[in-house]
Amino acid sequence: MQIGVLGTGMVGRALATRLVGLGHDVMMGSRDAMSEPAQDWLRAQTGTASVGTFAEAAAHGELAILAVRGDVALDVVDLAGATPLKAKVLIDVSNPLDFSQGMPPVLIAHLSNTTSLGEEVQRRLPLTHVVKTLNTMNADVMVHPERVPGPSDVFVCGEDAGAKATVMSLLKSFGWDAPIDLGGISAARGTEAMLPVWLRLWQALGTADFNFRIVR
């Protein structure tokens, strides 16, 4: 599948690397035109064939992934553009974290509780099928769930059942056997609000190789 990964940070690189390993044709997108040496480094890191702007990566993908810091995510959506993303699935893995008040970060007030980043991304892109997933864990665990000893869970939510099925199939290829479908995109309020306890757990456990499991 042709996939555009918006974001070249740790999360974007982890996703791109895994997707390339699974045989997908990945273009990574960044804000600015990268220098040749930076592009070379990114390609070597991830195995991707191509690096472009957010808009180019969005246009490249039959499916795109939003993997950027929450405080810039809506700007990145605007830079990618509604037209290149029209009628496509956009996987949103970002979290609305506000690091400006020190560590651990809090949630960005206007993107949480009574709304969510997932909902706001969907609002900006009404003709795109936004699916929120993978945002409740470390980047390495996202793409290699076996890093965590024993089964654990990933959540999906979004408005379009077909889009969620596509995403669940991709998640399965990462190793996630039975994602939990939480319903519409407003459930992102719930999964994004897991970050505060995730960050406390990271501190308390001294490792990011952990994940939530819903025992039932």
Contact flag: residue 101 with its own copies (CB under 8 A): yes
Residues 95/53, Cβ–Cβ less than 8 Å: no
Number of chain residues interacting with its own copies (CB under 8 A): 42
- Binding status of residue 140 toward its own copies by CB under 8 A: no
Whole-angstrom distance, CA of residue 152 vs CA of residue 180: 11
Taking CB under 8 A as the binding criterion, the range among 46-54, 82-90, 107-115, 158-166 that sits at the site for its own copies is 107-115
Q: Is 178 in the site for its own copies (CB under 8 A)?
A: no
CB atoms within 10 A of CB 7: 26
Residue from 22, 55, 106, 165 binding its own copies (CB under 8 A): 106
- 131: helix, strand or coil: strand
Residue 169 near its own copies by CB under 8 A: no
> Residue 99 has which token pair?
């690091």
174: contact with its own copies by CB under 8 A? no
> Mapping DSSP to helix (H, G, I), strand (E, B) and coil, where does residue 202 land?
helix
Q: How far is the CB of 139 from its own copies (least distance, A)?
A: 16
Stretch that binds its own copies, among 11-19, 35-43, 103-111, 162-170 (CB under 8 A): 103-111
141, 26, 133, 116 alpha-carbon torsion, rounded to 10°? 120
Q: Which residues make Cβ contacts (< 8 Å) with residue 209, sequence separation at least 6?
A: 138, 140, 141, 147, 148
> Rounded to the nearest whole angstrom, what is the least distance from the CB of residue 145 to its own copies in the complex?
10
Q: Is 114 in the site for its own copies (CB under 8 A)?
A: yes
CB of residue 58 vs its own copies: minimum separation in angstroms? 29
Position 190 contacts its own copies (CB under 8 A): yes
Q: Is 160 exposed, middle or buried (0-12, 13-18, 19+ CB in 10 A)?
A: middle
Sign of CA dihedral 133, 87, 107, 100: positive
Tell me if 214 contacts its own copies by CB under 8 A: yes
The yes or no reply on residue 210 touching its own copies (CB under 8 A) is yes
User: Which residues would be at the binding site for its own copies (CB under 8 A)?
Assistant: 101, 106-107, 109, 112-114, 148-152, 155, 157, 180-183, 187, 189-191, 193-194, 196-201, 203-205, 207, 209-216
